[in-house]
Structure 1
Amino acid sequence: MSRLEEKTIKTEKIFTGKVISLQVEDVELPNGKTSKREIIKHPGAVAVLAVTEDNKIVMVEQYRKALDKIIAEIPAGKLEAGEEPRVCAERELEEETGYGCAEMEWLISFYTSPGFADELVHLYIAKGLMKKENAASPDEDEFVNLMEVTLDEAISLLKEQKIHDAKTAYAIQYLQLQEALKK
């Protein structure tokens, strides 16, 4: 065991829901003392940075109850059991925006809140966007407004905190970096 690792002594499952589960673990710390860890288990998710031929970022506005406000986000969603992230990314892009793509390229995967959750988000970039005739629609409990914004508009939305989630901020900063590298 590394001098930084914590050894699990006991795990108590507190809640299991549709999206997450919560467990409390008793752990032995590297110094031999014990502590409790509250951990949210999540199946993982995808997020899609989709940019049109005229350089507009495809986003959705969505009400987020946990924040009690509407925010603008890149399309995203939870992985289904056994689902490959790329397949999930293609599905979520179509369901939330009506777009399909010629190519779905993985950019990076990152943990959202490693202090208490194991959610891993896989970020993709969708290339060769095309509107689909009979596109799948959002889940029955999901309501979104489609948006297409320029990079400058997205940066303004960040400053106004209308974009207020890490996956979307990360994606916008990726585009900013790509633009800066072109100069």
Structure 2
Amino acid sequence: MGGHTKWTIRGERLVDDGPYFRLSTVDVELPDAKTFTQYVVRMPPAAMTLVLDADHRVLLMYRHRFIVDRWIWELPGGYVDGAEDCAAAAAREVEEETGWRPRSMEHLVTFQPAIGSMDHPQMVYLARGADPTGTTPDVNEAELVRWFPLTEAAAMIDRGELVGAASVVAVYRALNMVDAQRPAGPGGRGSADRDRAGR
């Protein structure tokens, strides 16, 4: 869309950086010429996978997140390494963190979790089915790995047991996709919503 005035970066100063982040202060000019300075974090893309089996169960990991000091359930995923293919990175993370190898990978959604202060693309993939590799996941990655009905994963969001942005977005996106594919009528389209309401 044309005719709009952008916010303009007038200067950026590096505060700190590392392998997976870059922290800067950015001087910004608004359309009305007012200015302000803000911290900005830039991080490499991350790739996550929602693994869904034929019974519409999703593969989740139980782990401790020290920043918020909570045990939560979430999707497997991690940073994309350099020029690594994003879908390959997502599949690699599933195998490393859960001990399951995805049978297929398709892009589900890409989003920015905190675009007002952070540039950190999150790419979520859908895997239809997975096979066990026979390896035990690293205890530092996951305390437990379990399959849950997709509708139960949505209920876990409501209970605050699944809170990560990528996991929440992916579960709702997959739930809408599965629901849309059901035939209309009793037991068909809309039944996922009824299942959630009946809990």
Measure the CA separation in 2 of the matches of 1:22 and 1:33. 23
Task: Return the offset for 1:160.
Answer: 1.1
- Alpha-carbon deviations, 1:71-106, whole Å to 9, x = none? 100111111122221111111010111111221001
Q: Tell me the residue number matched to 1:178.
A: 177
The percent identity for this pair of structures is 24
Structure 2: unaligned runs, 5 residues or longer: 183-188, 190-199
Opposite residue 131 of structure 1, the aligned amino acid is P
| Larger gyration radius, structure 1 or structure 2 | 2
Q: Which residue of 2 aligns with 1:46?
A: 47
- The answer on whether the counterparts of 2:98 and 2:142 sit within 8 Å (CA) in structure 1 is no
Once residues 14 and 2 of structure 1 are traced to their aligned partners in structure 2, the CA distance between those partners, rounded to angstroms, is: 34
Q: Give 1:145's aligned residue.
A: 144
Match of 1:106 in 2: 107
User: Does the residue aligned with 2:6 lie in a helix, a strand or coil?
Assistant: coil
Relative distance call for 1:130 and 1:141 in structure 2 (3 A) is: closer
Q: Cα gap change, 1:2/1:143 in structure 2, threshold over 3 Å: closer, same or farther?
A: farther
Native 8 Å contact 2:63 2:73 kept in 1:
yes
Taking a change above 3 Å as real, the CA distance of residues 93 and 107 of structure 1, as seen in their structure-2 partners, is same
- State how far apart, in whole Å, the 1-side matches of 2:103 and 2:140 are: 28
What TM-score does the superposition give when structure 2 sets the normalisation length?
0.83
- Aligned counterpart, 2:197: none
CA contact (8 A) 2:46 2:78 kept: yes
SS at match of 1:54: coil
Alignment deviations for residues 139-176 of structure 1 (CA, whole Å, 9 cap, x no partner): x8534421211123212211210011221111111232
Equivalent pairs, count: 181
Runs of 4+ in 1 over 4 A off after TM superposition: none
CA distance in 1, matches of 2:160, 2:22: 29
Instruction: For residue 6 of structure 1, report the CA deviation from its aligned partner.
Output: 2.0
What secondary structure, in the 3-state scheme, does the structure 2 residue paired with 1:53 have?
A: coil
Secondary structure of 1:9's counterpart equals strand
Higher strand share: 1
Answer yes or no: is 1:15 the counterpart of 2:7: no
